[in-house]
Every structure is written in structure tokens, then in C-alpha cells.
């Protein structure tokens, strides 16, 4: 049980709060309501598998640089609490669960599963050669929202693309904020990020731009789907939280970055989900 606890801590399973609600949003909007337990369970298991695969690969890929970074040196692999073989086994199990879940959902989900795995595994390596890694991460997480839609409709439709885009720029925006705390380390290690390449002020400006696009994309989802007033109330709350998030950080003060990254964005995901569901039953 102790090893299992270490694995759950290592892959930060609680961060599923960022993408899982958007998978449910895609699923519920595509169904026009509750899609049934079968689809809901397999979508959930697909997300569990994807999260386990992605973060296990992340920990394996980054274990050497994590050991050299004071901020991450206390993680489980650098400390020897988990072995690479153990983390690799969990990555494999996550991949198997993802494919089984996609197979149980529909043929299109299964056909697209290898592409999802390509991004879930590959995006961890992008910081070694491109500062666009923030948007590649966002694109990868956005697959969850589109996947929820495809699980029900077995087709790509405009709302799926809008949700995918909304998640992509939202995740990219707060990943730009998160990367600001590792500027000096990234430069020393030759890692690529917008803050390391262009500086913290530029990163904060681009993050604000990403979150403006997030608000616009979420508005487009509400308009295209004809969602009722509860959705728009939630949308206003999300816009307010995005503004608040950016007021928490500045080029000279990153002390409240964890609050901006974890707390605020967790609230945003839950609010969008709740307001989308309520907007269907206005």
C-alpha cells in the first residue's frame, strides 16, 4: 500500500481535476444530458489511464533533471522511493487501460487512441528542443474534451473543436505561469520555455493572451450549443477567476504562483462543468 501511495503522489493524480471535468463537459454536451453509466465509466477510466501514462512517463523522462532542480529534487524517483521499473510498469498499465477504454467506447475512439498516446508520451520531450512546449501540452490536454464528445457522437463536430481549443489555450496559459519559477534552472540546463527564452514579462503577457482566447472559446461553446443563463453566469465567474489569477503574479513577485496554478484553475474546471450541465437544463 505504501508503494501505491507513492505512485499516486508521484503522478499527482489530483491534477486530473484540470482535464477530467472537460472530458465530462464534452460527453454531456454531446449527449444533450446524461449519456448513461456505460459511457461515463469508460470515459473516466480512459482519463485515469491517460493521466497515469502521461505523468509516469513525465517522471521517468525528467528524473535526472528533477534530481538537479532544488524545486523537484524531493520527488519520489530522485529520492529512490520508487524505481524506474516500477514507474514504467504503471505507465504501461495506464496505456493498456486507455486502449481498453477506447475499444469499449467506439471504433473512432480506438482509432484515435494511438495518436493520443503519441502526444501523451511525446510532449514531455518537447522542452528539450522548443519553447512552444506550453502549447503542445495544452493541445495534449485538450484531447480530453474532444474525446468526451467523440465517445458519445463518434464524430468530430464544431463544439468538440471549440472545447479542445479552449482547454489548449487555458492549459498553455497557466503552464506559462508555472514555468516562470524555473527560469534560471532551465537556462542553465538548456531546457526550452518561453520564460527562459524571452523572459518572465513576455511569458506573463502571453499567458494573459491565452486566457483571453480561453474566455472567447468558452463563450463560443455556449453560443453554438445554445446553453442557458446558468452557463453564462459560470462563464462570468471563470472570467473573473482568470483576471484574479493574473493579479496574483507579477514579474517581480511569483510568491503566490501555487495559488494561481493549483487552486484557481481547479475552481475554473469545476465551474465550467457545473455551469455547462446547468445550462442544458435552464
CB contact set of 40 (below 8 Å; sequence gap of 6+): 24, 27, 34
CATH number of 2-280: 1.10.357.140
Q: Give the pLDDT of residue 80.
A: 80
pLDDT digits (tens, 9 = 90+) for 229-250: 999 999 999 999 999 989 888 8
pLDDT for position 11? 65
Residue 153 · residue 161 · CB < 8 Å: no
Taking CA atoms, 41 is separated from 20, 143, 155, 256, 276, in Å, by 12, 18, 20, 36, 19
2/113 Cα distance (integer angstroms): 31
Q: What is the mean pLDDT of the chain?
A: 90
Residue in the structure block whose three cell numbers are 453566469: 233
Q: Domain residues of the chain, as ranges?
A: 2-280
Give tens-digit pLDDT for 81-130. 888 888 899 999 999 999 999 999 999 999 999 999 999 999 989 999 99
Query: What distance in Å separates the CA atoms of residue 255 and residue 140, rounded to the nearest whole number?
Result: 28
Average pLDDT over residues 178-207: 93
**Does the pLDDT value for residue 6 go beyond 80?**
no
Residue tagged 502521461 (cell numbers): 54
Contact 134, 194 (CB under 8 A): yes
Report which of 265, 261, 76, 81 is spatially closest to residue 182, judged by C-alpha positions: 261
Distances (CA, A) of 164 to 3, 42, 74, 143, 167: 35, 20, 34, 6, 5
Q: pLDDT tens for residues 116-141? A: 999 999 998 999 999 999 999 999 99
Query: How much of the chain, in percent, has pLDDT values that exceed 70?
Result: 93
Q: What is the pTM of this model?
A: 0.92
Residue 254 banded pLDDT, cuts 50, 70, 90: confident
Amino acid at each position: 500500500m505504501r508503494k501505491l501511495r507513492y505512485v499516486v503522489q508521484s503522478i499527482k493524480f489530483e491534477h486530473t481535476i484540470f482535464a477530467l471535468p472537460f472530458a465530462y463537459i464534452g460527453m454531456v454536451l454531446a449527449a444533450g444530458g446524461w449519456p448513461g453509466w456505460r459511457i461515463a465509466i469508460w470515459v473516466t477510466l480512459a482519463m485515469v489511464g491517460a493521466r497515469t501514462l502521461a505523468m509516469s512517463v513525465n517522471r521517468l523522462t525528467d528524473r535526472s533533471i528533477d534530481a538537479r532542480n532544488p524545486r523537484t529534487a524531493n520527488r519520489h524517483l530522485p529520492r529512490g522511493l520508487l524505481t524506474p521499473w516500477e514507474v514504467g510498469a504503471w505507465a504501461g498499465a495506464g496505456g493498456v487501460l486507455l486502449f481498453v477504454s477506447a475499444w469499449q467506447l467506439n471504433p473512432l475512439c480506438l482509432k484515435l487512441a494511438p495518436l493520443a498516446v503519441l502526444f501523451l508520451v511525446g510532449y514531455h520531450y518537447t522542452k528539450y528542443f522548443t519553447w512552444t512546449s506550453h502549447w503542445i501540452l495544452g493541445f495534449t490536454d485538450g484531447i480530453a474534451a474532444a474525446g468526451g464528445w467523440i465517445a458519445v457522437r463518434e464524430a468530430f463536430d464544431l463544439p468538440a473543436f471549440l472545447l479542445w481549443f479552449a482547454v489548449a489555450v487555458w492549459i498553455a496559459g497557466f503552464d506559462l505561469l508555472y514555468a516562470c519559477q524555473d527560469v534560471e534552472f532551465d537556462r542553465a540546463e538548456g531546457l526550452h520555455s518561453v520564460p527562459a527564452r524571452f523572459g518572465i514579462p513576455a511569458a506573463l503577457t502571453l499567458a494573459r493572451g491565452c486566457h483571453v482566447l480561453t474566455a472567447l472559446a468558452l463563450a463560443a461553446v455556449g453560443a453554438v450549443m445554445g446553453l442557458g443563463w446558468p452557463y453564462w453566469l459560470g462563464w462570468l465567474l471563470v472570467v473573473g477567476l482568470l483576471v484574479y489569477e493574473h493579479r496574483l503574479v507579477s514579474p517581480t513577485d511569483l510568491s503566490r504562483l501555487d495559488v494561481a496554478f493549483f487552486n484557481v484553475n481547479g475552481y475554473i474546471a469545476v465551474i465550467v462543468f457545473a455551469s455547462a450541465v446547468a445550462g442544458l437544463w435552464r
